[in-house]
A and B are shown apart, each in its own frame.
Chain A
Amino acid sequence: MPDQLVFAMEVILNGLMAGVLYALVALGFVLIYKASGIFNYAQGVMALFAAMTLVGIMNGQVPFAHLINATFGTHIHYFGWNVPALLAIILTMAVMVLLAWAVQRFVMRHLVGQEPIILFMATIGLAYLLEGVADLMWGSEIKTLDVGLPQGINLWIDESTFNIFGYGFFIDNLDIVATVIAALLVAALVAFSQYTKQGRAMRAVADDHQAALSVGISLNFIWVMVWSVAGFVALVAGIMWGTKSGVQFSLSLIALKALPVLMLGGFTSIPGAIVGGLIIGVGEKLFEFAIGPLVGGATENWFAYVLALIFLVFRPQGLFGEKIIERV
């Protein structure tokens, strides 16, 4: 088999894996948009906040230590204990639920019935607030996140492909784990929305707020639940990306990677986020591999948006989005 074809196969596989990571971020956007029609600009910052909280809890860091020390003249930074990863994840999830409640209680509840653009603006404000709170709470230094996920080349794939093609493919173990987790997450979310009372209530709210209210569904509860689930998805995305690069401010920028995925997959479809992620992942990697060297490289960021725009022209609602029909 020609070398270039083998290399292209490796690139496609890695593109699929990268796409899963993009989809993990896009999922959080979809969940909130589906349930409340809000494009949550703060989703990327939620991933950062969740990952910082997880590392802080694992390391026994005192939250707001700098503020406490500056106010009271103390010198405390750590409690002196370490929390096991699993327990820390559960505690972080509790913090994300608390955050969801606070967002609902202090922001969204007061904006019910407002134009979508107002709600969008509110999430921009929320993003910057959360960024500042995360910095103040846990400090802005880069933190190492190790919850025991494997990293590095998968030797089995390397050897197997070497035996077949004479060239061992590189697949990162972390990407394989991310793929498995994303598959489980999507299955769980689909099952939740289809087969549980709360999931059905969530879909009812998404369809029509007024109708849902009239049959006794609590809008407040559903929104807290949706923001909590989005917080959980943000935590998963934060763990995956944070393990790769360390937990730092730039984690909030992964939202940029989710936008073309949403444009392509649709804002209202969970499978759309996954398929959109895969198409973007493979598309950008393959373009960089084939065309990148001819145009000086670094094509991935803009090509993802070009790909999304092409889809948008032909299917404005995205691949799996609900078709917008307005009668006049």
Chain B
Amino acid sequence: MKLKLATMALGAAMAAGPVMADLVFPSLSYRTGPYAAGGIPFADGYADYFTLLNERDGGIGGVATKVIECETGYNTEKGVECYESTKGEGSLVYQPLSTGITYQLIPKTTADGIPMHTMGYGRTSAKNGDVFSHTFNYPANYWDGASGAINYLLDTNNGDLSGKKIALVYHNSAYGKEPIRTLEELSAKHGFELVALPVDHPGQEQKSQWLQIRRDRPDFVLMWGWGVMNQVAVQEAANIRYPMENFIGIWWSGSENDVLPAGEAANGYKALTFHNVGTDFPVFDDLQKYVVDAGKAAGAGDQVGTVLYNRGLYAAMLAAEAAKKAQEIHGTADITPAMMRDGMEALEITEAKMTELGLPNFGPTFSVSCENHGGDALVGVTQWDATNKTWSLISEFKATDGDVIGPLINEDSGAYASENNIGSRC
């Protein structure tokens, strides 16, 4: 009897053909803690895009996707725990959503052979794929952000910033200090004066910094902030009547969360970006039909179309496209993390592809290679309309200053390679 049952089971299994495992995309989210307001929309956007692929397309290449969410609370130790507890699930790519977690995971993911994508954050010099084999930071990094801001100011000031004063208000942490070196180099190149003003964590009290800005009257203020620091800075700028159109934040200082508390006073504030804003893209119709209306939206389903939701959706789209590329390269739908890495390294995002995905002009076009894990470094600028409570993209995605950033990346990645005995692989 037992033999008969076993034979039947074997026969049934053979008849059904090979069972594909789900394509696993871990989401190291932070829905709790001081930065939850920023973590929730990103996590929702990331999850919703994969739900859309499952519901509309039957997954990627016929294989269903599965998002495993692990709560980090934006805490580095918890982030590493999340990585350790999910890497055995067949996780294809990690998006740690924290520079601190990124730094901890670079050696771990490299040793484990799992790729990591740190879009717009993390270790900037990871752009050098010759050194950082498993870390990718396309389409833009912090130094691109610094250069993008200066390029935008050059564009809007007849190409001349000599004699101008630019203040950088930054979170007094490794993250906040990232753009300083690049801005110093750009200051020497373009002849503007740079004044760096650190703000201690969490940034609820910034009176000293804004009194100094009021006294020194810089022509422009750049901001590298996160969390409550952003809202307070925008409010303080409004209080001292600093012209909002001359105030530009990095992409982590440019969501609805950052400007809504200041109300009308925040009107005209600008922020850098590497993706478009709003819901005026065909993919959102599909999201509404297959995800939201079907009651399958992540979280409360109330974040669709916000800046950080769009960023999460964009990150998911790039991961899905890399997975498709990996399937194409290796001729199998059931890809491994190593194959995923190959897919990421061969990723090419064209406008035709973006249009095909229902995301025309949603993000910059770029390509990734063995040497270049950071893409083409194109950065745009958005502006807040307080009356309509909307962000708008007010510039094209434009090239940043590779002549300045390139040597800095080579210097930093070269030092990392020496410290860790990493040889050239490209």
Inter-chain CA distance A249–B241, complex, in Å, is 27
Decide yes or no: A288 and B235 within 8 Å by CB, A135-B36, A142-B257, A153-B240 being known contacts.
no
Which residues 224-263 of A sit at the B interface, judged by CB distance below 8 A?
A: 241, 244-246, 248-250, 253-254, 257
Q: How many chain B residues have a CB neighbour from A under 8 Å?
A: 40
Instruction: Looking at the assembled complex, report how far the CB atom of A131 sits from the nearest CB atom of chain B, in whole angstroms.
Output: 8
The interface size bin for chain A is: 35 or more
**A285 / chain B contacts, CB cutoff of 8 Å:** 207-208
Contact of A170 (CB < 8 Å), options: B200, B240, B263: B240
Residues of B within 8 Å of A257, CB to CB, are: 204-205
Q: How far is the CA of A253 from the CA of B235 in the complex (A)?
A: 19
Complex contacts, B33 vs chain A, CB 8 Å: 249
Q: What residues of B have a CB within 8 angstroms of the CB of A300 in the complex?
A: 200, 205, 208
Q: A141-B40, A142-B257 are in contact. Are A170 and B211 (CB under 8 A)?
A: yes
In the complex, whether A80 has a CB less than 8 A from a CB of chain B is: no
Give A246 to B34 CA distance when docked, in angstroms: 13
Our pick among B36, B200, B240, B260 for the contact of A301 (Cβ within 8 Å) is B200
With A152-B265, A246-B260 known as contacts, the answer to whether A14 contacts B197 (CB < 8 A) is no
* Of A27-35, A271-279, A289-297, the one touching chain B: A289-297
Q: How far is the CB of A308 from chain B (nearest CB, A)?
A: 16
Chain A residues with CB under 8 Å of B238's CB are: 151-152
Report the minimal beta-carbon distance from A179 to chain B, rounded to whole angstroms: 14
The CA of A170 and the CA of B232, in the complex, are separated in Å by 16
Partner of B231, one of A69, A142, A172: A142
B265 to chain A, nearest CB (A): 7
Interface of A is mostly: helix
The CA-CA distance from A158 to B239 in the complex, in Å, is: 12
Q: A220 near B: Cβ within 8 Å?
A: no
In the complex, what distance in Å separates the CA atom of A11 from the CA atom of B208?
A: 8
CB-contacts of B237-272 with A (<8 A) = 238-241, 257, 260-261, 263, 265
Residue with the greatest number of chain A CB neighbours at <10 A, chosen from B31, B40, B209, B300: B300
Q: Point out the residues of chain A lying under 8 angstroms from B35, CB to CB.
A: 249
Asked whether any CB of chain B lies closer than 8 Å to the CB of A194, the reply is no
Name which residue of chain B comes closest to A22, CB basis.
B205
Known: A241-B204, A298-B172, A298-B198. A144 touches B261 (CB 8 A): yes
Nearest chain A CB to B45's CB is how many angstroms away? Answer: 15
Asked if B40 and A170 make an inter-chain contact with CB atoms under 8 angstroms apart, the answer reads no
Note all chain A residues with C-beta closer than 8 A to B261: 142-145, 245-246
Report A-chain residues with C-beta under 8 Å of the C-beta of B214: 170
A201 within 8 A of B: no
Residues of A within 8 A of B241 (CB): 152-153
The verdict on B409 contacting chain A, using a C-beta distance below 8 Å, is no
In the assembled complex, which residues on chain A have CB atoms less than 8 Å from the CB atom of B231? 142, 245-246, 248
CB of B257 within 8 A of CB of A141, answer yes
Q: Which residues in A have their C-beta under 8 angstroms from that of B228? A: 245-246, 248, 250
From B172, B208, B263, contact of A146 by CB (8 A): B263
Whole-angstrom CA separation of A239 from B238 in the bound complex? 19
B215 contacts the other chain (Cβ, under 8 Å)?
A: yes
Cβ proximity bits B171-212 to A, threshold 8 Å, 1 near / 0 not: 010000000000000000000000011111110110111010
Q: Can you list 7 residue pairs at the A/B interface with Cβ under 8 Å?
A: A144-B263, A151-B235, A250-B202, A257-B204, A297-B198, A298-B199, A300-B200
* 5 pairs of A and B residues whose beta carbons are closest in the complex: A246-B261, A250-B228, A298-B198, A140-B36, A298-B172
List the interface of chain A (C-beta within 8 A of B).
7, 10-11, 14, 18, 66, 69, 77, 132, 135, 139-146, 151-153, 170, 172, 241, 244-246, 248-250, 253-254, 257, 285, 288-289, 292, 296-298, 300-301
